[in-house]
Amino acid sequence: MALEDAKKQVDQAFTRDDLRGLSFENAFGGAPSFLRRKYSKDLKGVDVAITGIPFDQAVTNRTGTRLGPRAVREASSLQPFDPPIYWDGYSPLEALAIVDYGDMAFDYAKVSEFPAALTEHIRGILKGGAASIAIGGDHYISFPILRAYAEKYGALSLLHFDAHSDTWADDDMERIDHGTMFYKAVKEGLVDPARSIQVGIRTVNEDNLGVPTLTAREVHEMGPAAVAARIREVLGDAPTYMTFDIDCLDPAFAPGTGTPVWGGLASWQAAAILRDIAGINLVGGDMVEVSPPFDTTGATAIAGAHVVMEMLCLWGWTRR
């Protein structure tokens, strides 16, 4: 059946009728959408909307993540043929109605208007009855997204994979900076620090606002199973927003990012942890900081696409 489908499937980003199902379109051809899902703004009956946020005007080092959503979509074209490995046969592409909601539109020359516009963009998805998973873009995008989610759920638990805490002090809520937005999110009451956790941190921040933290070295020494158990212990059953900065991975696995730091997680560690936290109450998420200009082999975009697939698994696991 798969071979027969491969002979006739093409441009499923536009031509597919069913929002559920695997895809057998040639990985090297056709119009790229995330996991060959249909591009649509119609959220009727949709479980999860994937949306690109091509914004990178908050970076402190290398730009280029505005091109991340496009690269991750292309990298995802190898994944829709089969259910993801290690999920006991669970197939989110078959179980869930998923659309590619396209990229957010905004005026790149009016940066000050971007945060409110992004909050409204995500608010529209949530009001439409779907969850959102955003593909960045730089990490600042999490802050406006959290504002929309907190309107619906109240203060959220934050599951944060990163090399950096992004909680450096900054009381100017108008500043647009990808290193201070979780400080602002805690101060604004969007995030409950005691029920949140950061994983993979390997830069110094003396005041992390009480957020439990597992450094990269602790992850290496504990092992994925113990790390996952700690994450589940901290989060409990609280509504959780997950943000995965691709620089959580070591530059050997994800060189295409703006602020790389040595000593990070290997891809296999991240994969094992994400599988082993199945059962958390995930309500939404984002994957950020893929910068194609520095991603010479495409490995970073591939890793990002797999992270988003794991988010879909986590979201759907408790809703089977």
Residues at the annotated binding site for Mn(2+)?
139, 162, 164, 166, 245, 247
On whether the CB atoms of residues 261 and 163 are closer than 8 A, the answer is yes
Q: Is 102 helix (H, G, I), strand (E, B) or coil?
A: strand
Phi-psi region of 241 (alpha: psi -120 to 50; beta: other; left: phi over 0): beta
Residues 6+ apart with CB under 8 A from 65: 55, 56, 59, 136, 137, 138, 257, 258, 288, 289, 290, 291
**What is the rounded distance in angstroms from the CA atom of residue 307 to the CA atom of residue 248?**
11
Label residues 97-114 b or e (16+ Cβ within 10 Å = b).
Answer: bbbbbbbbebeeeeeeeb
Q: Is 9 helix (H, G, I), strand (E, B) or coil?
A: coil
Nearest to 212 by CA among 267, 157, 142, 169: 157
On whether the CB atoms of residues 72 and 15 are closer than 8 A, the answer is no
**5, burial (CB in 10 Å: exposed 0-12, middle 13-18, buried 19+):** middle
**What is the rounded distance in angstroms from the CA atom of residue 314 to the CA atom of residue 48?**
12
Nearest to 210 by CA among 229, 187, 239, 242: 187
